[in-house]
Amino acid sequence: IWLAWFLIATIRNFTRHCVDDGQNEFRDRWSGRAESLVAAVEQSGWDGEWYLRAFDDDGRPWGTSEEQECRIDSIAQSWSVLSGAGDPERARTALASARHHLAREDDHLVRLLDPPFDRTPREPGYIKAYPPGIRENGGQYTHAATWLAIAFARLRDGDAAKSLFDRINPIVHAQTHDDAVRYRTEPYAVAADIAGVAPHLGRGGWTWYTGAAAWAWRLAVEEILGVRLAGGEIRIRPAMPKAWDKAEVTLRRPGGCLQIRLQ
């Protein structure tokens, strides 16, 4: 399902660059494909409180509320917003469900899916080769965690976006001696994954992972603070937490600077 959202976004972003020169067969054909995908996902991919993870070769769904393993998957929910294609009401419900099930109150992770694959006789693919709670199999996979937070920012929910960012920020995982002993990785480098079950709960995995770090930076700067460069222009559209009643942005360049106060 998430791949359908991703393909929809890719098609739409590609076709909007097609030159209108009277030969629009390519653009029209692929625009139609995107809309067909949207209709298919909304018709078959909604489970009532969130979007399904996938359908297997036998046509059976994964990621349903009736499952004992992988009941909910993060990126199928976040990309309903990031693609701009999901039904708005469903997308909000899906994000709320993802936050409830995947960002628990009793730890500081943002899981990719839950519960992890373990004893199911079905074959979900190579993901099942990871132990339960490790990396993609029910741990925090930071790419997905940032996407979920960005989706909340796109919905103007700064409180949720900042709350999830705090779970991604490596400094937060090493604030005390006990935290550092549990985390076991550098507190100044974003970890690509964090283990999600005991006895390894909270242990950092692959650090210095530039993709995860880049998405975390974009979450903080472009989405929560809302400062981005687009088409040679600085655009500011923050999604800050309510507790931040104001913020100041200073843009510096040779010859001067510009200060902007956000309230």
| pLDDT value, residue 23 | 61
CA–CA distance, 234 with 54 (Å, rounded to integer): 38
pLDDT tens-place string over residues 217-259: 999 999 999 988 888 888 889 999 999 887 777 778 787 777 7
Q: Is 15 exposed, middle or buried (0-12, 13-18, 19+ CB in 10 A)?
A: middle
**Tokens 């693609």 sit on residue:** 83
pLDDT tens-place string over residues 53-72: 999 999 999 999 999 999 99
Taking each continuous run of H as one helix and of E as one strand, the counts in the chain are: 8, 10
CA distances from 156 to 75, 87, 153 (A): 19, 16, 5
Percent residues over pLDDT 70 in the chain: 98
Model confidence band, residue 36 (pLDDT cutoffs 50, 70, 90): very high
Q: How distant is the alpha carbon of residue 239 from its chain centre? A: 16
| Residue type, position 25, single letter | E
Given a cut of 70, whether residue 202 has pLDDT beyond it is yes
Q: Looking at the DSSP assignment, which residues form a beta bridge with residue 113? A: 73
- Kindly report the pTM of this predicted structure: 0.93
